Amino acid sequence: MADSIKVFAPASVGNSCVGFDVLGFAVEKPGDELLLRKTEKPGVVIKSIAGDNGQLSTNPTKNTATIAIDAFLKDFGRETGLEVELFKNMPFGSGLGSSAASAVAGAFAANELFGQPYPIEKVLEFAMEGEFFASGAHHADNVAPCLYGGMTLIRSNSPFDVIKIPVPSDLWVVLLYPEVEIKTSEARSLLPYEIPLKTASKQWGNVAGFIAGFMSNDKALISRSMKDYVAEPYRSRLIPGFNECKKSAMDAGAMGFSISGSGPTMFAFCTSEESALEIGKAMSVYYIENKIGHQLFISQINQCGPKVL
C-alpha cells in the first residue's frame, strides 16, 4: 500500500438554476489538488497551502480538507499520522464550491490511501463534515456533484439520498466569475422565507422539466425549464452586470443562464465548445468595458468526480 497519494477534486455549480439546495453539477475545471502523506507521528497536520494568498488556516481543525480526513480516521479507527499539502486552484467566495472541493479531496484521498474501505455514500458523510464547518449547513448540492461527478439530485440531506442524473455528452459550460465578494449568508438572507403557491408550482414544473430534459437528452426542454423563481430574482441584485451578462449570453446562443450557487459566478449552458467560446466572449464584454476584474472558465461537465493524479 502506498504511503502517499495526490488527488484532484472539481469545482461545482450548486442549485443549477432551478434546483435550490437540491441540484448541482461538477465541472472539469477549475478544481483543487491535495497531496496526502503518511507520517510516523499520529494526527493530521497541514504542511502547506498554495494558491490561497494566505487566506486559509493551517490549523487542521479549521480547514475543510483536514476536518473531512479526521472524520475518516475517527470512523476508521486508526492512529495514523497524515500530512496534507493543499493546492487551491479556484477563487474563494466564488459560488464554485471551493470549500466542498477541499473537503471532497480530503475524504476521497484518505479513502483511496487506505484501500477504499468505505463506499461513496460514506465518503460523502466525511466530506460533509468539512463542508458543514465552512457553510454551517448540511446541504450537499456542492459536495455531492464534486464527489459523484455529473449532475446530482439530492433528494434528502437527512439521511443523504443522492441520485446521479445523466448528462448530454456534448453539453458545455461557461463560468464567469466577477471578482467581487458575496457572502453566502448575505445571499441567503435575501431569499423570501415563504413563496406563493402559484410561484412554487411554476418552480416545480421547471425542476421536473429540467431533470426530464437531462434524462431524455432534450436540450430544448432543458433550455425552456431554466427559469428560476426562487433564488435568481433576489441574488442577481448582488452581482454587478448580471442582467447585461445574461442578455449577452442568451443573445449569443446560450441554452440557459443563471447563478452558480450563491454567486457571484454565473454559468451558461452551451451546445458545443465552439459556441461556448463565443458565448464566453460575449459574457465578458460588460466586465471588460467597465474594467471589472473577472475570470472565465470553459469546461464540459465532469462525469467522474475526484480522481487520483
Of 308, 278, 257, nearest to 16 by C-alpha is 257
152 is catalytic: no
Using DSSP bridges, classify how beta strands 23-39 and 4-14 pair: parallel, antiparallel or unpaired: antiparallel
User: What span, in angstroms and rounded, lies between the C-alpha atoms of 201 and 196?
Assistant: 9
The alpha helices in the chain, defined as continuous H runs, are 64-76, 98-113, 120-135, 143-148, 184-189, 197-216, 219-225, 232-235, 242-251, 273-289
**What is the number of other CB atoms lying within 10 angstroms of the CB of residue 241?**
21
User: What span, in angstroms and rounded, lies between the C-alpha atoms of 129 and 115?
Assistant: 21
Please say whether the beta carbons of 68 and 126 come within 8 A. yes
131 is catalytic: yes
**What is the number of other CB atoms lying within 10 angstroms of the CB of residue 238?**
18
Of 104, 111, 123, 124, nearest to 32 by C-alpha is 104
Out of 64, 66, 152, 184, the active site residue is 184
Out of 33, 125, 129, 131, the active site residue is 131
Catalytic residue numbers? 131, 184
